[in-house]
Structure 1
Amino acid sequence: MNNLCVAHRGFSGKAPENTRAAIQMAMDEPFVEWLEIDVQMTRDGVPVVIHDFSVDRTTTGRGKVKDLTWQEIRKMDAGIWKGRQFAGEQIPSLDEVLQLVKGRLKVNIELKTSGNMYPGLEEKVLACVETHDMLSDIVLTSFEPKALVTAKELEPKVRTGLIIDSHPRNLLSRLKRMKCTFLSIGYSHLDAAFAADLVKNGITPMAWTVDDPKVMRSLARMNPEIMICTNRPDTWGQIFMSKLGQKISFWRRIWRGWA
């Protein structure tokens, strides 16, 4: 089974997305090897892990992330909306997340931006990644091509990937021009021929967001290199993990802890 499981915003099917609880729950599944998170920046320049441009949906606060300070965001409850058992969860900083997962999970960091919404976001994120010595363990992705180009200019060795929910004819050539080696794509736009073409050209495809067992099986049949991004890693595990696979994944995780 090569279709790696990517925990979308952590184990967001059960825990509040993009929180330590969701990330820890994903890490508790022995077969999860990748985490996908969203990063924005506070008014005072702290990279924080949250999906929406405002805090309204997932916290007890109000306002746009870019207009709030780190201390203001820190006071908000980011867990109670998902259930009382998650009361007190906070929006984590990127630094906290990388510290938590280092040596255990690789990370798909989405630069959640549009146009010039967050000047300096790429530099701040890369600085955080380098502080934790995790350049080889991350990929920077974004819907915003300019963010990916800027990241490559700042650090040519960083892996980058476009996020897209369509399949224009020139997509492969666009990826090559941008020097992307990763593609995050809505699963309905993938087929076997396109997946094979991507892999042949050194580009790793990740399908999102896949919670349906039938779709997971279909993607696996298309190509073993398609990464499956899901809110429900447990569903992935029920489909793909044999007892032997569980043992291999367990000992692989132990080895990583020793390395």
Structure 2
Amino acid sequence: MAVPIVIAHRGYAGVAPENTIGAAVRAAAADETAMLEIDVQPAACGTPVVIHDVRLDGSRDGRPLTDASGLVWETSLEDLRATRVLGTEGTVPTLTEFLAAIPETVGVNVELKNPGRSDLRVGDPLSNGERAKRREVWTPFVERVVEACAAFDGEFLFSSFCEGALAAVREIAPAYAAATLVWDDLEAGLEIARRYDCEAIHPPRNAIAGTGLVETSYAGLSEGEREIDILEAAHAEGRTVNVWTATNWHQFEQLAAAGVDGIIADYPGLGAGSSAR
């Protein structure tokens, strides 16, 4: 049985302040880490910064995400650099700073989270007319992201829940690998992956048929067996399947046994006792 690669979710967000340089350096040093998964969106000036939430005043388990407030894309780069993440000394880094801090031996899954606006189309296949408009929405930001990535000689995988982002990636940087992130519609995820010939597809953990995880609700999917075997369908088309997000060894074990190619994990070491190893 093939062993899935381990992708550190926001730099193993379960053990370090997510999407910070400190988390990235620590995660990259772990032998098991094949890739780091990060989220990018623009500061007010358009510079790509590494942060998940669109608002700085979000929370994690009752703790403030940062000591600032407001929308990320309305906040100056200077103010973003002055924030503190989850009560630590970690700040919101630019994508350039983040990449400069990690070794080029580790890959980076760059999730295109938001181009700087609230009217996103998440998880929806777009009509021909909408497709061009949404690509234009994403193009300026994706250009800035690709520019920031140019100095890093490691492996990149660009992913997004938004078709417009993937359309922009394919137009601006077709040499980079791309993945569609799936929310609550497995068929839509496959359709978008086919449309852009994505190298990978990223479904939620409870989308994988034949595992006990399908009996749980998560990421917009209710419990129950799936009508589509997304793993089988993607593999039949030659696409890599990286599943999000494993938070314990039991989830990791089930996903590994099912034959997924990669597991996006909140914690290091989840696969240490896996029978797939």
SS of the residue 2:272 aligns to:
helix
Q: How many equivalent pairs are there?
A: 233
The match for 1:84 is none
The match for 1:63 is 70
Q: 2:252 aligns with which of 211, 216, 239?
A: 216
The match for 1:125 is 145
Displacement of 1:231 in angstroms is 0.5
Q: Residues of 1 paired with 2:20 and 2:206: CA distance?
A: 28
Percent identity between matched residues is: 25
Matches within 5 A, 1:93-172: 93-113=94-114, 114=120, 120-134=140-154, 137-169=155-187, 171-172=189-190
Q: Which range moves more in the overlay, 172-181 or 61-70?
A: 172-181
Q: Is the contact made by 1:166 and 1:185 (CA closer than 8 Å) also made in structure 2?
A: no
Displacement of 1:174 in angstroms is 2.9
Matches within 5 A, 1:221-240: 221-223=257-259, 225-239=260-274
Q: Is the contact made by 2:180 and 2:189 (CA closer than 8 Å) also made in structure 1?
A: no
Displacement of 1:33 in angstroms is 1.0
Matched, 1:207 2:247: no
Q: Residues of 2 paired with 1:221 and 1:107: CA distance?
A: 25
Displacement of 1:127 in angstroms is 0.8
More helix per residue: 1
Q: Is the contact made by 1:195 and 1:226 (CA closer than 8 Å) also made in structure 2?
A: no
Deviations 1:19-40 (CA, angstroms, capped at 9, x unpaired): 1121122123211111100001
Gaps of 5+ in 1: 81-86, 243-259
Displacement of 1:91 in angstroms is 0.8
Q: Residues of 1 paired with 2:183 and 2:79: CA distance?
A: 33
The structure-2 alpha-carbon separation of the partners of 1:126 and 1:14, relative to structure 1 and needing over 3 Å to count, comes to: same
Q: Residues of 1 paired with 2:188 and 2:51: CA distance?
A: 31
The match for 1:195 is 231
Displacement of 1:167 in angstroms is 4.2
SS of the residue 2:101 aligns to:
helix
Deviations 1:127-169 (CA, angstroms, capped at 9, x unpaired): 11113234xx011101110011011101111111111123433
The match for 1:252 is none
SS of the residue 1:29 aligns to:
coil
The structure-2 alpha-carbon separation of the partners of 1:171 and 1:92, relative to structure 1 and needing over 3 Å to count, comes to: closer
Q: Residues of 2 paired with 1:118 and 1:61: CA distance?
A: 26
The match for 2:36 is 35
Deviations 1:96-124 (CA, angstroms, capped at 9, x unpaired): 12112232310110001235776611101
The letter of the residue matching 1:74 is R
Gaps of 5+ in 2: 59-64, 115-119, 122-133, 211-228
Q: Is the contact made by 2:253 and 2:271 (CA closer than 8 Å) also made in structure 1?
A: no
Q: Is the contact made by 1:165 and 1:189 (CA closer than 8 Å) also made in structure 2?
A: no
The letter of the residue matching 2:109 is N
The match for 1:90 is 91
Displacement of 1:64 in angstroms is 0.4
Q: Residues of 1 paired with 2:69 and 2:188: CA distance?
A: 40
Q: Residues of 2 paired with 1:138 and 1:92: CA distance?
A: 18
Q: Which range moves more in the overlay, 107-116 or 36-45?
A: 107-116
